[in-house]
A and B are shown apart, each in its own frame.
Chain A
Amino acid sequence: MSLLELSNITKSFGAIHALNGVSLEIEAGEAVGLMGDNGAGKSTLMKIIAGNYPPTQGQIQIEGQIVEFSQPIDAREAGIEIVYQDLALCDNLTAGANVYLGRELKRKIGPFSMLDYPAMYKRAGELFSSLKSETRPRDLVRQMSGGQRQAVAIARTQLSDPKLVLMDEPTAAISVRQVAEVLALIKRLKDTGHAVILVSHRMPDVFEVCDRVAVLRRGSKVADKCIDETSPEEVTGLIIGAIEAA
């Protein structure tokens, strides 16, 4: 039984078919690279998994159970967390505050409930160290490097101990040194039994951390192969259409 199983997902926006019967399976502890050119349907598929909108046809199963998401919170409750491309962090808050944004811990003092800073900073610190990141919870996100910000965004997903982490271009706008840091974070996620979907344009990243690679072209899945059985050249060919399918 797969952790996540997408069967025949189709999504149409009026006359435009963004996705044509895409099926995908992911096991726990597995990382799948989702690749494709712009407009191939990657973000549409991401948004369907994330609960931004429902598929026109097809079904989503999590651990064998059929689920239907009508809004992102449903996906989160089903154990799916998303790291957005622009990271969706508040620069003017600390790393710890960002990790807990929207689900702050509180403690009661008489009739008042107040933010529980010690508990939030402690837990955020634990999350960072379990990710082997040196990010400190009390630092402002504004002053952080791209890699550290990525760690904050990933730590955010760990609060609810999700089954699946969806990452949209996590290495797009950061330096070479920071890319290594982020890839290490993804490996940590795998080691701790999380399934990861990595949407990326960067071939080396996918080949370094992913177990499988799925290629979308014009709304259809044209390949789904183990990393060992393919090569960057083949994947490139599949993406641009030089190779029809594999």
Chain B
Amino acid sequence: MTDQTTDQHNRPGQGTAGSTSNVDHATIDESITERQEVSGFAAVMRTQPFWVFMAIIAIGIVMTFVSDAFMTERNMFNITRNFAFFGIMALGMSAVICTAGIDLSVGSLLGLCAITLGLTMQAGFGIGAGFIVCMLTAAVIGAINGILIAYLRMAPFVVTLGMLAMARSIAMVLSDNKMIYDFGPDMDLFEWIGGESMLGVPNVVWLLIFLTAVFWWVWRYSTWGRWVIAIGGNAQAAKLAGIPVERMIVSVYMVCSMCTGLAAFMFIGYIGSATNGVGVTYELNVIAATVIGGANLMGGVVYALGAPIGAALVELIRNSLLLAGIPALWQQFFVGLFLILAVLLEQIRNRGGK
């Protein structure tokens, strides 16, 4: 029955048994081809960040009816600023997760960077020195993670779990368990960068927008980005193709850590004090934001827009529950629920796509 209809559809007049089956194969091939060819809007629609963005719009629309305070400039300002810190860290985490790795040490690293940065500026050094020390701390921790994972072939989960404990401990030792709130001669500039805004948009959000654009370009047009995605897809193949896989992995963990270093620089300027408790459990929020934004823990998938969109959804849930008068105790429940829903959505999409 099917044979007949496709036959008539394609080549009317040919009726022998042989040609019927040939035409049938051709039709199947053609329809498969058509399904594979996606471009423009259809391609965007197949990405996870698109659907998470739709969820954000939907929650936003509902919230404008639930709470008058939601759609105010003040609230939007707060939401975007709050998620920007996580978004910046999630951009780096996306790179790590793309290689099928994970970095659990980002929360502790945020704390360690806060302390080294704070101590440097407290000692009377300028903001430039503080920034360099902060980024160096991040780069060194990232390099240690990366070398252990790439060259000694240790599991990323274990290495970064160890670093989570160690970095936090070093932060405690260095700070002598004291809070730092004096940031030396450049304190005003430092707190302006982290806490103030330009053109009505918080500086940290500008930084997030800039970094997202950079990462978008990197994933799409740079050799580094292409190689990271290839390693995530098939590390063995990447190696055989002559890609320096070990060096790439080290660089990926350094990029992730340095995103955290940037976030620390902005975050401490914003809250105006540095303690060794900064960033406790942040790694979970960052990983949640990254996964909600479409990263696949199996590796090989990355979206630059996924990190900020995932972080935005997490913050939006928090904000919405608050404004809707639901007890704050429910916050983690909903973040967890959306995390699981996001992964479920990805599973369903993958099944449909194959």
Contacts and interface: CB of A to CB of B under 8 A. Distances in A.
A115 B222 contact: yes
A114 B234 CA distance: 23
A114 B222 contact: yes
Interface string A74-100: 001000000010111111110001000
Interface string B199-223: 0000000000000000001001111
B243 A88 contact: no
Given A88-B236, A89-B237, A101 B243 contact: yes
A91 B221 contact: no
Interface stretch (B139-147, B225-233, B317-325): B225-233
B234 A90 contact: yes
Given A92-B300, A101-B230, A143 B242 contact: no
A243 interface: no
How many B residues touch the partner, as a band?
Answer: 20 to 34
A38 B217 CA distance: 48
Interface in A126-151: 138-140, 142-143
A143 B236 CA distance: 20
B226 A115 contact: yes
A143 B233 contact: no
Interface string B10-44: 00000000000000000000000000110000000
Interface secondary structure of A, over-half rule: loop
Interface string B115-135: 000000000000000000000
Contacts of A140: 36
In the A-B complex, the 8 residue pairs with the smallest Cβ-Cβ separation, listed nearest first, are A102-B241, A90-B233, A92-B233, A114-B221, A92-B300, A88-B237, A102-B242, A101-B241
Interface of A: 72-73, 76, 84, 86-93, 97, 101-104, 106, 113-115, 138-140, 142-143
15 contacts: A86-B236, A88-B234, A90-B229, A90-B233, A90-B234, A90-B237, A92-B229, A92-B232, A92-B233, A92-B301, A103-B242, A104-B226, A115-B226, A139-B36, A142-B354
Given A84-B240, A92-B300, 14 more contacts: A88-B236, A90-B229, A90-B234, A90-B238, A91-B233, A91-B234, A97-B226, A101-B238, A102-B238, A102-B242, A114-B221, A115-B220, A115-B223, A143-B354
